[in-house]
Amino acid sequence: MNAPATSLADQWKALLAKQPKTRIRDAAEQLNVSEAELLATELASKVQPLAPKWKDFMEAIAEAGPVMCLTRNDWVVIEKTGPFEELEFDGPVGVTLGEFMDFRIFWSQWNVGYSVITETPDRTLRSFQIFDHYGDSVLKIYLKEEDQIETFEKITEQFKGDASSAPVFKEKPAPTRPQPAPEGFDEARWQQDWLALEDTHDFYPMLRKHRIDRLTSLRHAPEGYAWQLKNDCLEFLLTEARDRKLDIMVFVNSRGNIEIHTGPVDNIKRVGEYMNVLDPTFNLHFKEAGIHEVWVVRKPTVDGIVTAVEFYQEDGTDIAMFFGRRQPGDPELEVWRELVNDLPRA
C-alpha cells in the first residue's frame, strides 16, 4: 500500500499496455494497491481531489438532476439511475429517500473523494468517486447527460481539494472467519431477545449484547426463524420475483454506504460469472462465486414478521440482502413469503 505515485503510475501504464481493457479495480488488485491509490496517480490531469465536505457535496449532487449511483463490495455491484429526492443528513448516518435513490450513508467511513474524467473509445465519463480508509470504493456518482457537463465542472470547482500531498490509506486487516458462540453464551436468552424484537434495526445491538457474530447467530435462532438455503438460489429468487410480478427490495453495501433498490426486476441475464439484472434504472451484477452461505432470516417487528434472504461471503460479512417491498407500518407481502418458502433449502 501507499507505493510511490510515480512508480505506481508507470506500473499501471505497463499493465494497460499489456491488458488495455483492464478495469482500474482489477488493475489495483493485480498491482497489490487500493483502487483509490491507483486513481490518485492521475492527480492534476483527469483526476481532481475533493474537499471532505461530504454533506454539502451530496446536497450539491442532489441539485444535478438524474445521475447514476454505483455501490459495490467484492462480489456485488448495484447501480441506480434517477434524481435524488428527500435528504436527511443530520447525525452520523445520512439518509436519502425516494423512488430512485435510497441510501444509508455512514459518514465516518468517507475518507477521500475525487472528481474523475475517464476517456473511453466510445465516450467520456464524468464521475465523483468516494473511497474509505482502506482505499476501497464507497460510492461512485456518474453525470451522464451532455447538459450536465457544466454542473460537473461547477461541483468539481466548488469542492476542489488539496492535491499537494498523496492520501494515506490503512492496511486491510487479515480476513477472519465466523467464530463459534462465545463461552457463556446463553442460547435461551438469545432466542428470547430475538422473539421480543420490535424493529429489525435492533438486531445489531442485540448481536453486540450477546457478543456473537451475525452468521453464527443464525445457527442459534429460534425454531422457524432462520434456515439455510442452497447457494445457487439467486437465479430462482430473481426469476420468480419477475414471473410473480413481485416488487422486491435489494440492499447492497460498501463500508460507507448501503444502496437500496425497491421495485420490480425484469431483464435477468447471466453473463460469464455474473448474474445480472439489466433494467433501465436498476442494474445488479452479482458474482455468485462469492456466495458462501445464504439464509432466510425472520424477525418480529411491530408490523409483524419481516423476512429477509441474506447472502454472506466466507468471512461472514453480508454482501446482499433481499426483502419483499414494504413500508414501515405495512405488513409484509404474502406473495414474498410464498416465494421465500419455495426457495431451495440446503
pLDDT above 70 for 2: no
- Determine the Cα–Cα distance for residues 124 and 132; give it in Å rounded to an integer: 25
pTM reported for the whole predicted model: 0.94
Percent of the chain at pLDDT > 90 equals 81
Judged by average pLDDT, the poorest of 155-169, 248-262, 298-312 is 155-169
Q: Which amino acid is at 299?
A: K
Let me know if the fold of 5-89+110-158 is the same as that of 187-271+287-342.
yes
Q: Give the cell for residue 289.
A: 462465486
Q: What's the pLDDT tens digit per position in 26-47?
A: 999 999 999 999 998 887 678 9
- 318 band by pLDDT with thresholds 50, 70 and 90: very high
What kind of fold does domain 187-271+287-342 have according to CATH? Heme iron utilization protein-like fold (3.40.1570)
pLDDT above 90 for 123: no
- 4 band by pLDDT with thresholds 50, 70 and 90: low
CATH match of 5-89+110-158 with 3.40.1570.10? yes
Tell me the DSSP string of 134-198: TS-EEEEEE--SGGGHHHHHHHHHHTB---SS----PPPPPP----PPPTT--HHHHHHHHHT-S
What number of CA atoms fall less than 13 Å from residue 106's CA on the CB side?
14
- The gap from C-alpha 94 to its chain's centroid, in whole angstroms, comes to 15
**Mean pLDDT computed over 115-142:** 93
Cα separation values, 201 from 18, 332, 346, Å: 48, 16, 27
Residue among 108, 80, 85, 82 nearest 95 (CA): 85
The secondary structure element, H or E, covering residue 29 is: helix 24-30
Burial class (CB in 10 A: 0-12, 13-18, 19+), 174: exposed
Domain range annotation of the chain: 5-89+110-158, 187-271+287-342
| Angle at alpha carbon of residue 146, lines to 145 and 147, rounded to 5° | 90
3 state DSSP class of 208:
helix
| Angle at alpha carbon of residue 143, lines to 141 and 145, rounded to 5° | 155
